[in-house]
Amino acid sequence: VKDVSLDLRPGETLGLVGESGSGKTTFARLLLGLVPPDEGGTIEFEGKALAPKLENRNDDQVKAMQIVFQNPDSALNRSHSIRHLIGRALKRLAGLKGAALEARLNDLVRSVRLTDRHLAVKPRQLSGGLKQRVAIARAFAGDPRIVVCDEPTSALDVSVQAAILNLLAD
């Protein structure tokens, strides 16, 4: 990936297309600080250079960019409940606790068309489509400025793909 520049406005959606191996996922991982750029490479957001690695970015920069991975199984800890996974993101990214956390948790769960009963279950008990809904809810926990979706429907049945895309469009 070389000399990429994007200028997006709030509310805009950008689709990045290319052949397999052309660098789409690498670009996403660079943007989010999951991998550092090559020597001399920089990532800028809102006119400011970002630390190359996620762990060196400040809380506001981390909160501003979230990702929904292609495979929710690799992104969700199978041993924690859905309540814990989304609640932890709300604590870390939005600084919520107590009643405010519970209210936002319930809003997020409803926004991805899950029910209260899903909060007690663990990802291993859910279908691929339901796991992806959890991943989407978690990505939006801190009201990010950018949400990167790395082929969020490719591992799902065709019947579930449209529902997930509709959730993201909302």
| pLDDT at residue 57 in the model | 95
For 80, the domain range is 58-169
Does residue 140 lie within any of the structural domains?
yes
Looking up residue 95, the CATH number of its domain turns out to be 3.40.50.300
Residue 4, in any domain of the structure:
no
Residue 119 in any domain: the answer is yes
Maximal C-alpha separation, the chain: 49
Asked if residues 7 and 20 have their Cβ atoms less than 8 Å apart, the reply is no
23 part of a folded domain: no
- pLDDT digits 0-9 by tens, 133-160: 999 999 999 999 999 999 888 877 887 7
- Can you give the pTM of this predicted structure? 0.87
**127 Cβ contact partners less than 8 Å away, ≥ 6 residues apart:** 160
In a domain, 38, yes or no: no
Whole-angstrom Cα distance, residue 82 to residue 137? 10
Residue 93 lies in a domain: yes
The token pair at 48 is 């400011």
Please check whether residue 18 lies inside any domain of the structure.
Answer: no
Structure tokens given for 58:
């400040």
Query: Per-residue pLDDT for 56 more than 90?
Result: yes
Does residue 74 sit within a domain?
yes
d(CA 70, CA 137): 15
Q: How many domains does the chain have?
A: 1
The per-residue pLDDT for 102 is: 96
Digit-coded pLDDT (tens) for 76-118: 999 999 999 999 999 999 999 999 999 999 999 999 889 999 9
